[in-house]
Amino acid sequence: MIIDVPVLLPTPMKTPKKPPFKYAGSKARMLKKYAASGFLVNEPKMFVDMFAGSTQVAYWIRQIYPKLPIVINDLNDELNQLYHVMMNHTKEYQAYGRELLKPYVAITPPPKPQISPERKEYYYELRQRYWDRDFQNKVEESALLMFMMRINFNGFWGQSKKYPNRYGTSAGNMWWKESWFEKLEVQELDFIKFLKSCVITKESYEKTVKWADKGVWMYADPPYRLSAETYRAAGEFDDENQLELCELLRDCHKVGCYGALSNREHHDGEQIGWEFHPAGRKWTHGGWFGDKFDDNWTMHMFMGHKYTSGRKDKEGCLATEILIKNY
């Protein structure tokens, strides 16, 4: 496989619109780097996001290719239901969100940087209702989920340690005013329009190969190697899965697909990828993915990407994001 450590020049690119919430592994910070590294394809037949999450990459692709068929696939039950509710029950979904907002805005927050204990208490009451499934239908369930993600810590969908595969992010600063929610509701309509333009599926990554054909653009952004526990994803994504995914992408290449894989090189005790260790101030080379693809593929390496999630040290570690593609 060809290794490329690109010198990234400024890319003339509008700031992409973002989904209404964040998700572990989102590529929001990487899109401009991807664009500068030749990620975009000339006249693809279809774009298949095999591990879509919050749909950040697919949403960006729609903004660049307005008429391109797009498949959004992810196994997350809550997000899959949320997307379908937003598309098919928009008015009821937004109306219930406004009902949830009323008690929140009725509480006058203290001056910044203080945090309202009453608003925080309201948030945790809602989260407990969500865990107890104290709602009438899936519309209320999804509206409750989205409202919590708007006022939680960093707008992030994070999984509960107490209830596996259920949302569980902690409360945020609780400073948001009603006008901010009104603005979000308008922006959300564009995201819903995007969802309606896509095919949305909930299948294992192996089954997405059914879309593979000449000219189809297959993109995989799985739980990063050795970080499945960090994401606490629904089910473990181990090295065997990583190998299977690499093989699947190689098979897609054989039928004429454009293929791309996001991941990172990671120190696993035996091999060290291009990872910066603050104590040593030194890059060392190894690389788990280096021999998984032939010379039809190029690995673009983006050094100096900081990770803190899932690490025992609070300062985090500068690591290497990688993008492997066959075009």
One-letter amino acid identity for 132? Answer: D
Q: Cβ distance 63 to 190 under 8 Å?
A: no
pLDDT of residue 12: 53
Residue 46 CB: number of other CB atoms within 10 A?
Answer: 18
Q: Hey, do 2-75+203-325 and 92-180 end up sharing a CATH topology, with the first three levels equal?
A: no
Which residue carries 């997405």 as its tokens?
Answer: 208
Q: Spelled out in words, what is the top-level CATH class assigned to the domain 2-75+203-325?
A: alpha beta
Q: 3-class SS at 179?
A: helix
Half-sphere exposure (CA, 13 Å, Cβ side) for 34? 24
pLDDT of residue 318: 57
pLDDT of residue 305: 61
Q: Is 211 exposed, middle or buried (0-12, 13-18, 19+ CB in 10 A)?
A: buried
Which of 19-28, 138-147, 242-251, 310-319 shows the lowest mean pLDDT across its residues?
Answer: 310-319
Annotation: CATH topology of 92-180: Adenine-specific Methyltransferase; domain 2 (1.10.1020)
Tokens of 205: 């990554």
Q: Over the stretch 178-226, which tens digit does the pLDDT of each residue have?
A: 999 999 999 999 999 999 999 999 999 999 999 999 999 999 999 988 7
Half-sphere exposure (CA, 13 Å, Cβ side) for 127? 25
CA 300 to mean position of chain CA atoms: 20
pLDDT of residue 65: 96
Q: Over the stretch 222-277, which tens digit does the pLDDT of each residue have?
A: 998 877 544 444 557 888 999 999 999 999 999 999 999 999 886 544 444 444 44
pLDDT of residue 259: 98
Residue 206 gets which letter from DSSP? Answer: G
pLDDT of residue 278: 44
What residue ranges do the domains of the chain occupy?
2-75+203-325, 92-180
